[in-house]
Amino acid sequence: MKIADYSVTRAILERHGFTFKKSFGQNFLTDTNILQKIVDTAELDKEVNVIEIGPGIGALTEFLAENAAEVMAFEIDDRLVPILADTLRDFDNVTVINEDILKADLQAHIQNFKNPELPIKVVANLPYYITTPILMHLIESKIPFSEFVVMMQKEVADRISAQPNTKAYGSLSIAVQYYMTAKVAFVVPRTVFVPAPNVDSAILKMVRRSEPLVAVKDEDFFFKVARLSFVHRRKTLWNNLTGTFGKSEEVKERLTRALEQADIKPSVRGEALSIADFARLSDALLALGFA
């Protein structure tokens, strides 16, 4: 019997008197078939180390430990640490760290893997309330994670993997796809969790690119231009740009020149622009003093 079997999960929760905290976004998966699909999607073997975030009572951790070299699991809720010590007692390749992943010194921690030279993958059921900050924190860190296979709210997975000219496409799509390829692997129904969330989830697979998708002169400014282009989704690119940079004749003249140089019409909306378009636009704006 696996930890994720419903009867086992209930027994563990009752034995430890555990109650769910909404503030931690706790939803425990009780479907072993889905856990196996997650591991299969991540293509784990004993030559890969894994970082997990929010292991809960260890349902996914158990599958990871069976398939990966080592697992380092970050759990913010200290009430779960003794439960994990119980449920994962048979595994000597799991380390549970009672820290907030956003505050942990990851560079220092990964040196504690028995073989820190192995590729590192992030495989996790991310807390809904803080999915995007965790993902961006990890992607933008200097740690060369080779892949992410993570569960999140389906709507967020759709936004991250979205292509131009779709409703879901936006600055989050650009921020992630600049660094990673992103594809929804499969959908997870809300009914397989305890307690059941209000929405369905999805497994998103992201693979790090060997180099960013586009070359830009200033990454921070590139991301800023992408964000401000979606401030008001229904407004044109021109209206969003002038809303940020100003509407003086001098500013409008420079904006017109930048758009001409980037070969972008001012009447388009942000959602119509590819990541390459945003790269040309941000470089043109930068050259004309808009940083």
The 10s digit of each residue's pLDDT in 25-72 is 788 999 999 999 999 999 999 999 999 999 999 999 999 999 999 999
193 and 58 part of one domain: yes
What is the 8-class DSSP label of residue 45? Answer: -
CA–CA separation, 130 vs 174, rounded Å?
19
Residue 68 lies in a domain: yes
Write down the pLDDT at residue 204.
98
Write down which residue in 184, 208, 232 finishes a domain: 208
**In a 3-state reduction of DSSP, which class is residue 123?**
strand
Write down which residue in 181, 208, 235 finishes a domain: 208
Regions of the chain with pLDDT less than 50: none
The annotation status of 29 as a binding-site residue, yes or no, is yes
The annotation status of 54 as a binding-site residue, yes or no, is yes
Residue 1 lies in a domain: no
| Main-chain phi, psi angles of 194, to 5 degrees | -125, 120
31 and 74 part of one domain: yes
CA dihedral 257, 262, 263, 265 (to 10 degrees): -70
Please give the sequence-ordered ranges of beta strands (E in DSSP) within the chain, or none if there are none: 28-29, 49-53, 70-74, 94-97, 120-125, 147-153, 180-188, 193-194, 201-208
CATH of the domain at 251: 1.10.8.100
166 and 262 part of one domain: no
Quick check: bond before 116 cis, omega within 30? no
CB 64 within 8 A of CB 86: no
pLDDT in tens, 270-288: 999 999 999 999 999 999 9
The annotation status of 198 as a binding-site residue, yes or no, is no
Residue 67 lies in a domain: yes
Residue 155: both structure tokens together? 């709507």
Residue 214 lies in a domain: no
153 and 266 part of one domain: no
CA–CA separation, 134 vs 138, rounded Å?
6
Write down which residue in 208, 241, 261 finishes a domain: 208
32 and 57 part of one domain: yes
53 and 164 part of one domain: yes
The annotation status of 239 as a binding-site residue, yes or no, is no
171 and 95 part of one domain: yes
CATH of the domain at 156: 3.40.50.150
CA–CA separation, 162 vs 172, rounded Å?
9
29 and 117 part of one domain: yes
| Main-chain phi, psi angles of 147, to 5 degrees | -150, 155
190 and 235 part of one domain: no
Residue 104 lies in a domain: yes
State the total domains in the chain: 2
Residue 130 lies in a domain: yes
Domain extent for 160: 6-208
170 and 242 part of one domain: no
CA–CA separation, 245 vs 247, rounded Å?
7
Write down the pLDDT at residue 26.
84
137 and 229 part of one domain: no
| Main-chain phi, psi angles of 105, to 5 degrees | -85, 85
280 and 169 part of one domain: no
Residue 106 lies in a domain: yes
- The b/e string for 108-143 (b: 16+ C-beta within 10 A; e otherwise) is ebbeebeeeebebbbbbbbbbebbbebbeebbeeee
105 CB-near residues (< 8 Å, 6+ apart): none
The annotation status of 253 as a binding-site residue, yes or no, is no
The annotation status of 100 as a binding-site residue, yes or no, is yes
Residue 213 lies in a domain: no
Write down the pLDDT at residue 24.
75
